[in-house]
Structure 1
Amino acid sequence: MKTTYRTLSLSALLLLGIYSCKKGEVASTELQSYGITDSTVAIASDSISSVAGMKVKDKQFVKTADVNMEVQDVYNTTISIEKSVQELGGFVVKSNLHSNVTSEDTYNTSNEHAMLIKKYQTENTMQVRVPTEKLADLLTLINNNKLFLNSRSITAEDVTANIKYSELEGKRTQKTSENIAQLKTNKDKVALDDSNMSEGNLQKLSTMNMADDLKYSTVDIYIKEPKFRIAEIAITNTNTIDNKYKYNFIYDAKDGFVYGFYLIQRIIVGLITIWPLVLIALALIYFLRKRKMTKSEQSNLKE
């Protein structure tokens, strides 16, 4: 009996040891798998950044980038970037190119011509979206246009848990919809069904946005020229034109005569408008003069 028990114990220990070795081999294989993935990424990554082309087993990343740099010609660089984005299967969200004028002076070159001199600096703020697998390629193409790189940041946000949560929420909404369908039709059921449908729509929208962010990476780009440019624009000498038409004696004399005639008319019309006041003033003057004459006559009689 004891011999049988010892035999069974040894067999169990042997099996346990074999299982432990197998388990260790599986764990090592998984770690090696992750190691191979990481090293492959490091080798396959572009020279710009390993983050842009990073891939990790069982992980999902939303990638974004921000580039701030100086270029030789903003306009030509903008055209080049837009063309590259299109060729990579992406699209431009916005492109705000403008010139900041620091000074503007006019110099007369003759009686008829002048030269407008503008000192300005051109810049552009862009936002583009490109397929995530092409992000590293786009960053490389952008980098080829730089004179000086002020800053560049690349972000890879792990959204694996968010995706799983979204799937669970979708299942919950579906289950809730099935439970509501079994209820007796009344106002409460309609309200519950409407609320659940609204929540389901929001969940679908969130899923669609997440899928879009996973498919396309967003890149914000700010480019400017390192030095000011000078623009020479031929224009008309406005001073000569102003002097030519600044004063015309015959026209101004005629205009002054007409204005004086209308001024007299306005004065007469104004006097007619205030005739009651004029009448009262005349009456007061007549009364005061008559009173003064009466006093004068009384003084003479007394003497």
Structure 2
Amino acid sequence: MKTTYIRLTIATALLLGIYSCKKGEATTSDYAVSEPEYNKEIVADSISSVATMSVKDKQFIKTANVNMEVKDVYAATISIEKSVQDLGGFVTHSNLQSNVISEDTYNTSDENAMLIKKYQTENSMQVRVPTAKLGELLTLINDKKLFLNSRVINAEDVTSSIKYAEMEGKRIKKTSENISDLKTTKDKVKMSDENMSEENQQQLANLEVTDNLKYSTVDIYIKEPKIRIAEIAVTNSKIIDNKYKFNFIYDVKNAFVEGFYLIQRIVIGLIVIWPILLIAGIGFYFYRKNKSYKKTTQTDKE
């Protein structure tokens, strides 16, 4: 009896062990299948939680900066711009350009050639989107990435600045009332003008803060990691250069004409310096005459 009980216990333990292993394998398999979806939810939640952060009695100006690599810069640009518009935002800057890495021309015939350009495309954008939609926009941008280089989200607490602006507004208003009670003098006019200028600057600052609270600014830099190649059919310029580089008959004719003009310039130059030539001729005449006289005198003495 005792032996039978031990055997039953061992059999039960083995069955429980096999069942546990199978259950563990099934759970692991299920987890592996659902992991990508789980990670996507984590990424979306992390973007949303940072970008849509809200604290009671606090006001934040939110900005973001995204630097990433995409498969197609042009397609990603169009998609991002459309997403921004759909969310009620607008694009303030978009600079899409191709950086040429190399450029070579290969002649394929006497008339034709092929220009080969190797380049990479990039775009630097700045968009503004309603602050409430910032998290949604960042999620849409994140879906376009091949590789995320960096993503920075800033939330600047401007609660105290807004309170201070309100107090400054009351001070400026009180100052304006005090100035109006003064007698009209040059000093009063000057003080009134300075106070009005300060009031205008304060109102401008308030408008900027209100606008930045309503709309978040997002700077986006995207580029393609791969090098693109453009093949452009062009004319074989070398054969054209050789064709018109030298024309014997024309060059000989042109040489005769240029020689004739050179003679004209020399004659005109001599005419211009005729006084110098006249003085030189007179000097040479007297020099020869004096030399001839000395030679005759020396012959007579001998």
Amino acid at match of 1:257: F
The 5 Å alignment of 1:19-168 reads 46-168=45-167
Q: How big is each residue's C-alpha offset from its partner over 1:86-117, in whole Å with a ceiling of 9 and x where there is no partner?
A: 11111111111111112110000111110111
Letter in 1 for 2:153: I
Q: How well do the aligned residues superpose, as a CA RMSD in angstroms?
A: 1.5
Aligned residue number for residue 211 of structure 2: 212
Superposed CA deviations along residues 263-289 of structure 1, whole A, max 9, x for unmatched, are 111111111111122222222222222
| 1:210-248 per-position Cα deviation (integer Å, ceiling 9, x unaligned) | 100000000011111112211111100001111111111
- Aligned partners of 2:253 and 2:140: how far apart in 1? 72
Distance 1:295 1:188, change over 3 A: closer
Q: Is the 8 A contact 1:46 1:53 kept in 2?
A: no
CA distance in 2, matches of 1:278, 1:200: 85
CA distance 1:184–1:295, shift in 2 (3 Å) = closer
Secondary structure of the 1:221 match is strand
| Counterpart AA for 2:129 | V
Which range moves more in the overlay, 45-54 or 127-136?
45-54
Distance in 1, Cα, partners of 2:299 & 2:200: 115
* Structure 1 residues 184 and 298, CA gap change in structure 2 (3 angstroms): closer
Whether the aligned pair in 2 keeps the contact of 1:85 and 1:92 (CA below 8 Å) is yes
Residues 48 and 136 of structure 2 are in contact (CA less than 8 Å); yes or no, is this contact kept in structure 1? Answer: no
Q: Match for 1:183: what amino acid? A: L
Instruction: State the 1:75 CA deviation.
Output: 1.5
Per-residue CA deviations over 1:182-215 (Å, capped at 9, x if unaligned) read 2222223222222221111111111111100000
Task: Work out the CA distance in 2 between the residues paired with 1:286 and 1:165.
Answer: 103
Distance 1:195 1:296, change over 3 A: closer
Distance 2:284 2:192 in 1: 96
Matched, 1:302 2:301: yes
SS, match of residue 270 in structure 1: helix
Aligned partner of 1:200 in structure 2 is: 199
Q: In the alignment, which residue of structure 2 is the partner of 1:288?
A: 287
Q: Contact conserved, 1:65 with 1:155, CA < 8 A, in 2?
A: yes
The SS at the match of 2:56 is coil
Aligned to 2:243: 244
2:297 and 2:195 mapped to 1: Cα distance? 112
Other structure's SS at 1:288 match: helix
Aligned residue for 1:103, secondary structure, equals: strand
| Structure 1: gaps of 5 or more residues | 1-42
Alignment partners' CA distance in 2, 1:267 and 1:277: 15
Letter in 2 for 1:105: D
Aligned 8 A contact 1:114 1:236 in 2 = yes
8 Å CA contact retained: 1:46, 1:136: no
Q: Which amino acid aligns with 1:173?
A: I
The structural deviation recorded for 1:297 is 1.6
Contact persistence 1:102–1:120 (CA under 8 A): yes
CA shift for structure 1 position 49: 4.3
> Could you list the per-position Cα deviations for residues 23-56 of structure 1 after superposition, in whole angstroms to 9, with x for gaps in the alignment?
xxxxxxxxxxxxxxxxxxxx9x744241101111
Matched position secondary structure for 1:94 = strand
Aligned sequence identity (%): 71
Cα distance in structure 2, aligned partners of 1:62 and 1:204:
18
Q: Distance in 1 between matches of 2:145 and 2:106?
A: 35
Give the count of matched residue pairs. Answer: 260
Which whole-Å CA distance do the structure 2 matches of 1:233 and 1:204 have between them?
Answer: 56
Q: Judge conservation of contact 2:104–2:117 (CA < 8 Å) in 1.
A: yes
- Moved >4 Å (runs of 4+): none
Contact 1:115–1:232 (CA<8 Å) still a contact in 2?
yes
State how far apart, in whole Å, the 1-side matches of 2:193 and 2:272 are.
76
- Aligned counterpart, 1:257: 256
TM norm structure 2: 0.82
- In structure 2, what is the Cα distance between the partners aligned to 1:255 and 1:64? 71
Taking the aligned partners of 2:84 and 2:271, their CA distance within structure 1 comes to 80
